[in-house]
Chain A
Amino acid sequence: MLLITCPWCGVRSQTEFSYGGEAHIVRPLDTDAMNDAEWGDYVFMRKNSKGRHLEQWNHAMGCRRWFNAERDTVTYRIKSVYKVGEKAPGAAE
């Protein structure tokens, strides 16, 4: 059982959340110009990082908002959470 901090509601049980996979995957705009390999890469291929992983969560049984979390896939420790549209912690720019 994880305790996950919702950016709005605070610390809640994992059972209130649903998982949304890797974060910051941007849908390509010019899809007509893409070949199958590129499209397959966008649809299916993920980093599957060992360690720091930026991922999406939805507070499904709470405020029903999406947000992002920075989680270590080895220890399962969630280091930080941030709202959709906010930059990942330590991101460039």
Chain B
Amino acid sequence: MSNTVVAESPLVRFKLNERAAKGTGNAGVIVNERALLGHVNLRGDAQDPRFVSAASQVLGVDVPTAANTVHEAQGNTVYWLGPNEWLIVTTGERATALVGELRKALAGLFVAVTEVSGGQTVLVFRGRSARALFTKECPLDLHPRSFRVGQCAQTHLAKAPILIRQLDGEPTYEIVVRRSFSDYLWLWLESAAAEYGLAMSK
């Protein structure tokens, strides 16, 4: 028995990096996985200024208290998930230490800090047909009048629950998907994006 544990993306069997090597050609949808990042779920009372300031201090970025907004700084992305729940995405190396620091800073408050890094992965979609792909089976209104950079939303893509945000005006979208849904979602994507041309990038 080997004691070595190797972290693997839930999409490892699709060999995305090998496919990325083929280039993107004229594909309308270009996907890259931001694999093996650190994910931390944070729960606490947004009405409690002690919680908000202590958490913001550790993260180096203000914890967003407005619904469906996302703040990003110091290598941490903090997504609003609910009135008392956030997701922090950081580097894979940083996650465990961040959990310790948050627990220490928030000691004595009514909070939960849970590392969920292995439980989900991040996909980035760009290309001229990225929005068209999402409008197929994501019920969220992605029109610029109602969904813009700086906002995030939990919704679903096909039957998979996702957390989505827009990264730029192209538009480029980033989604966070659970490990248990990633296989299903990727297979859906292969067929749904076929008409636009689907390519991977690093």
A16 with B67: CB separation less than 8 A: no
A61-B155 in contact given A8-B83, A13-B139, A16-B139 (Cβ < 8 Å): yes
A62-B155 in contact given A12-B139, A13-B139 (Cβ < 8 Å): yes
Docked pose: A7 CA to B109 CA in angstroms: 26
A34 at the interface (CB under 8 A from B): no
B140 at the interface (CB under 8 A from A): yes
Docked pose: A8 CA to B83 CA in angstroms: 8
B161 with A63: CB separation less than 8 A: no
Interface, chain A (partner B; CB < 8 A): 8-13, 15-16, 61-65
Which residue of A10, A12, A16, A63 is within 8 Å of B82 (Cβ)?
A63
Docked pose: A35 CA to B165 CA in angstroms: 53
A12 with B140: CB separation less than 8 A: yes
Nearest Cβ on chain B to A63's Cβ, whole angstroms? 4
Chain B interface size, as a band, is 10 to 19
B154 at the interface (CB under 8 A from A): yes
Cβ–Cβ < 8 Å partners of A64 in chain B: 81-82, 85, 154
Which residue of B81, B139, B141 is within 8 Å of A63 (Cβ)?
B81
B139 with A15: CB separation less than 8 A: yes
Interface, chain B (partner A; CB < 8 A): 67-68, 81-83, 85, 139-141, 153-156, 161
Nearest Cβ on chain A to B193's Cβ, whole angstroms? 21
A63-B156 in contact given A9-B68, A12-B139, A12-B140 (Cβ < 8 Å): no
In the complex, the 5 A-B pairs of residues with the closest C-beta atoms, listed nearest first = A13-B139, A63-B82, A61-B156, A8-B67, A62-B154
Closest-by-CB residue of B relative to A1 is B139
A15 with B156: CB separation less than 8 A: yes
B155 with A65: CB separation less than 8 A: no
Cβ–Cβ < 8 Å partners of B82 in chain A: 8, 63-65
Docked pose: A1 CA to B184 CA in angstroms: 25
Docked pose: A8 CA to B80 CA in angstroms: 11
Cβ–Cβ < 8 Å partners of B67 in chain A: 8-10, 63
Which residue of B68, B85, B161 is within 8 Å of A61 (Cβ)?
B161
Nearest Cβ on chain B to A16's Cβ, whole angstroms? 6
